[in-house]
Amino acid sequence: MSAVWVTDATVVSGLGPDIDSTWRGLVEGRSAVRPIERFDASRYPARVASWIDGLEPEGGRSRLFPLMERVVAGLGPLPGDARLLTATTKGCIDTLERIQAGRPGDARDIPIATPVAWLARRLGLADTGVNINVACASSAIAVARAAAAIDAGLAEAVVVVCMDLVSEFVLSGFNALMALDPDGSRPFDRERKGLSLGEGGAALVLMSARRARREGRRALGVVAGWGMANDATHITAPARDGCGLIDAVRLALARAGVEAGEVAAINAHGTGTVYNDQMELTAFGAVFGARPIPLNSIKGAIGHTLGAAGGIEVAMGLRAVAERTLPPTAGFRASDGSSSLAVSAGPQAIGPGFLLSTNSGFGGVNAALLLGGEAA
């Protein structure tokens, strides 16, 4: 396999406007989940989310545009021939909400092609871009597709931009599924009741090692392996035996040529729902046995950012590998005793090796990415 470098990364989250502020908030165990003020959530049982101040649209445009601007503003110079992959599940959903309510809104924003084309122009790329929408694994799969294209020689550089908003549409849907915790999510805690929504975005630049060296770029880390699988079990519920995630993780390990014992830490999907968290623990137990691997979820801190989750978690995972520190799982207090994996309310030191980052989504989709800190 060819080395796939990550040469640049940005993050915008409820914890802060960049990677450094988001990382500090995660390591300090802070949570950005708070009462929703953007719209009236009083009729819903769960009224909290991690949302970003100041994303006020102009002229009926979507909040997605100022979010995207914040995400890409921190990127360095990009190769003009870079491919563009985006990941979002709901795009300009706030525009659709306004129009449905009889308020001003630009209907041209609603097709996902509009924000994707805006990004291509903003970044000065010749590629018109493709959006990946695979539920909550969208940006993890976008990263996998970018790495696969580079590995196969179909591209030398790919920019992945992921973003999603907190909206009443999504809040109402998850409330209807009784999948939200009114007090904020508690991933892997024995008292967990559901997830918290979040909004944010990330941008990642992936390059072949040869191209990156030629341009004098440094590596933040590498995408060493990737795997995707579908458990084909239920439209919203995961397979209880974790079969799809097991397959995805094993595919990522095999593609990287890495043994399970070389995984030093796991950043899990970790939504805080009863069934997702247990499914992940079951899958990791099947792959890694009883070894007490440090494991965390950042969704208790920044909420579940839907299509942006995997991209944000790749950026934070690479930082964790570089710092040899796994941030705490905000909201976690006590394990239910069903796993030997080491979930903690405080930061955990991690040894040399790879970090496994996983995401799962509606429709039975599962994605696994293996991240390394050394660029050969």
User: Measured between alpha carbons, how far is 40 from 17 in angstroms, rounded to an integer?
Assistant: 25
SS3 313: helix
User: Measured between alpha carbons, how far is 323 from 352 in angstroms, rounded to an integer?
Assistant: 11
pLDDT tens, residue by residue, 306-316: 999 999 999 99
The domain boundary residue, chosen from 168, 195, 214: 214
Q: What is the mean pLDDT of each run of 10 residues along the chain (376 residues)?
A: 87 98 98 97 96 89 96 94 98 95 92 97 96 97 98 97 98 96 97 97 97 96 97 90 97 96 97 96 96 97 98 98 97 92 96 97 96 78
CATH of the domain at 277: 3.40.47.10
Identify the CA nearest to 240 among candidates 282, 198, 201.
282
The verdict on 77 and 177 lying in the same domain is yes
In angstroms, the first-to-last Cα distance of the chain is 12
**β-strand 221-230 against 48-50: which pairing, if any?**
unpaired
Side-chain-side CA neighbours of 276 within 13 Å: the count stands at 30
SS3 294: strand
The verdict on 230 and 205 lying in the same domain is no
Query: Is residue 136 annotated as a catalytic residue, yes or no?
Result: yes
Determine, yes or no, domain membership for 189. yes
The verdict on 62 and 81 lying in the same domain is yes
User: Measured between alpha carbons, how far is 294 from 343 in angstroms, rounded to an integer?
Assistant: 6
- Write the CA distances from 376 to 135, 213, 219, 318, 373, integer angstroms: 33, 11, 10, 16, 10
The verdict on 174 and 243 lying in the same domain is no
The verdict on 161 and 257 lying in the same domain is no
For residues 351 and 235, is the Cβ–Cβ distance under 8 A? no
Query: Is residue 92 annotated as a catalytic residue, yes or no?
Result: no
pLDDT tens, residue by residue, 202-216: 999 999 999 999 999
Strand partners, 348: 326
The verdict on 317 and 358 lying in the same domain is yes
Q: Which of 92, 162, 243, 304 is catalytic?
A: 304
For residues 78 and 71, is the Cβ–Cβ distance under 8 A? no
Determine, yes or no, domain membership for 321. yes
Identify the CA nearest to 196 among candidates 42, 6, 28, 33.
33
- What letter represents residue 74's amino acid? G
Say what the pLDDT of residue 375 is.
Answer: 64
The verdict on 120 and 229 lying in the same domain is no
Say what the pLDDT of residue 49 is.
Answer: 98
Say what the pLDDT of residue 187 is.
Answer: 98
The verdict on 323 and 176 lying in the same domain is no
Q: Which of 92, 136, 162, 243 is catalytic?
A: 136
User: Measured between alpha carbons, how far is 346 from 330 in angstroms, rounded to an integer?
Assistant: 8
The verdict on 183 and 290 lying in the same domain is no
The verdict on 244 and 368 lying in the same domain is yes
Strand partners, 223: 371
**Residues of the domain holding 239:** 225-372
Report the predicted TM-score, pTM, of the whole model to 2 decimal places.
0.97
Identify the CA nearest to 269 among candidates 356, 144, 335, 148.
356
Strand partners, 228: 367
Determine, yes or no, domain membership for 219. no
Query: Is residue 234 annotated as a catalytic residue, yes or no?
Result: no
For residues 241 and 41, is the Cβ–Cβ distance under 8 A? no
Say what the pLDDT of residue 59 is.
Answer: 81
The domain boundary residue, chosen from 179, 214, 249: 214
Structural domain count of the chain: 2
Q: What are 173's two structure tokens?
A: 């849907």
The verdict on 128 and 10 lying in the same domain is yes
Determine, yes or no, domain membership for 135. yes
